[in-house]
Structure formats: structure tokens, C-alpha cells
Structure 1
Amino acid sequence: MENQSPAVTAFLRDLRHPFKEVIGVLRSEILALDPGITEQIKWKAPSFGFAGTDRVTMNLRPTDRLQIVLHRGAKVRADVAGFQFADESGLVQWLARDRGTVSFASADDAEKKREDFLRLVDRWMRV
């Protein structure tokens, strides 16, 4: 896949996390959504961006689940008051108007939610 980062590949090769396999699968599927999606290491985890803005970052600190952070960059944007995003999947736990998390409790949970999650991420990348 052309949009894979060698730095992220190396990071994941050395990663010790109970959800390592799920992380690798979701990484590949997120990158496959659009060739314009980029990746890097942010917050000591894989992070995905679109059109020059970070959008989706894995939070690897909890080891009892895999947590994905949906955001619109590192800083709160000036347009946050008017921001709206409809989460038809019901997967997002909103932390702010433009920042939320999606959690997977197990590999089976991730598999059950995978299609809804990928549709969500595909839409989120473009907001």
C-alpha cells in the first residue's frame, strides 16, 4: 500500500500490545479507504490524516481495550462552535463537539463493529 509509512511499520513491528493484531488490521483498512490518507506516529501511536490535518489517532495507553480518538487536529479550531457531525453508527463517545473516542473491548468486538467504524472514519476524514 503506497500510503503506508515506514516509520509506522517499524513502530508496529516492535509494538507490544494485546490488540496488536487488531491495530494492524485497522491500520490497513483505514489506509485503504482513500490513497490521500496519510499516517504518522503521534502520541506514541499510529495517527491518520487527510488533506494535511490529523484526524484519527489510536490511543495505546489502555491495554484492556483499543481506543481510537477522532479529532480535527492537535488544537481546538476556531469553528468548533458551529461544528456538527452525525454519528449514525452510535460508536462515538463524544468528549467535545469535535472530538470523540471509539473503543473496542476485544478482537471480536472490533470485528463486529468494523464496517460501521470504517464508514465512520471515511466520513470523519473529510469534515
Structure 2
Amino acid sequence: MNNESEKRMKKKLTGPEQVAEFMAKLDHPLKEEIEEVRKIILNSDTRITEHIKWNAPSFLIENDDRITFNLKGKGFFRLIFHCGAKKNPETKKEPLFVDHTGLLEWQTNDRALVNFSNKNDVKAKEERLRTVIGEWIRITVN
């Protein structure tokens, strides 16, 4: 059997299977920290599922991407908080909500970043991250 036949016969992986395979193969100096942040996100809301998007784990609510890893940085990784692929017709100038934690770095009114640099940084931001995830989901899920 050639490679093409094998690919067709191989079943399509579920989102969590995609992420498990991706993480097993991931070669990143902050892999342990990435796993920890992944657990924090998955444990934040029972509706959260995951798959691979933009060549990294991405987290969905009701099949819409809301939080996606960016693993391309040197010495850090980041989470991108966004509203999925669908453009909101109501474009506001101000951020979706007031981030009282100070954790989010707003890029646009509906897109924000959080950077992580090491294990201590993840630990220091954990509670604020849980708060921001809850608020992001509350605001962006209809």
C-alpha cells in the first residue's frame, strides 16, 4: 500500500486526538508550561473543546474558536483570545470588556494576548487567567 492509500484509510482524528498527537510531537523549551496552561483552559469551563488551528492547540466553545496558542516566540509563548472566524458586524472601538486583572494585552477591541515566559510566570498568572477565560467566554458566547 502506498502513502496516499494509507492516508485515505487513516480515520480523521477528533480534536482532542489532534492535540494529543501534536503535543506528543511538540519540541518546545516551554512544553511543560504549555501543558499547564492547556489544563487551566480545559478545566475553566466544561463546554471547552480543543483541536489544532494555526499549527497549535486551539480551544472552542460551541464549535467556535475562542482561545488559541501561538508557540512561535523565542523564550515565551502566548495565548490569543479572539472571537473566531466570524466577523462581528457591530465593530466597537473599546475592548469587549474591562479587564480588571490587567492580564490582557488588547490588540483590537475583540482580540487580546497573554504572554508566558516560564513556570513561575504561569503560576503567577493562573488565577487571573481563569478569571479572564470566564469573562471572555461570558462575553463572546451567545
- In the superposition, the TM-score normalised over structure 2's length comes to 0.80
Matched, 1:112 2:124: yes
Check if 1:11 corresponds to 2:27.
no
- Map 1:53-92 to 2 at 5 A: 53-81=64-92, 84-92=96-104
Contact 2:80–2:112 (Cα < 8 Å) also in 1: yes
1:95 is aligned to 2:107: yes
- Structure 2 residue runs of 5 or longer lacking an equivalent are 1-14
Distance in structure 2 (CA, Å) of the matches to 1:121 and 1:5: 19
Match of 1:23 among 27, 31, 34: 34
Structure 1 match to 2:47: 36
Number of equivalences: 124
Tell me how far apart the structure 2 counterparts of residues 121 and 66 of structure 1 sit (CA, whole Å).
17
**What's the CA shift for 1:75?**
4.4
CA distance in 2, matches of 1:84, 1:48: 19
TM-score using structure 1 length: 0.89
CA contact (8 A) 1:17 1:63 kept: no
SS class of match (2:133): helix
Q: Which runs of 5+ in 1 are unaligned?
A: none
Q: Partners of 2:137 and 2:74 in 1: how far apart?
A: 26
1:24, CA displacement in angstroms? 0.8
How big is each residue's C-alpha offset from its partner over 1:1-48, in whole Å with a ceiling of 9 and x where there is no partner? xxx701101100110111110111111221112221011101000000
- For the residue of structure 2 that corresponds to 1:80, the secondary structure is coil
Q: Distance in 2 between matches of 1:53 and 1:6?
A: 18
Q: Which has the larger radius of gyration?
A: 2
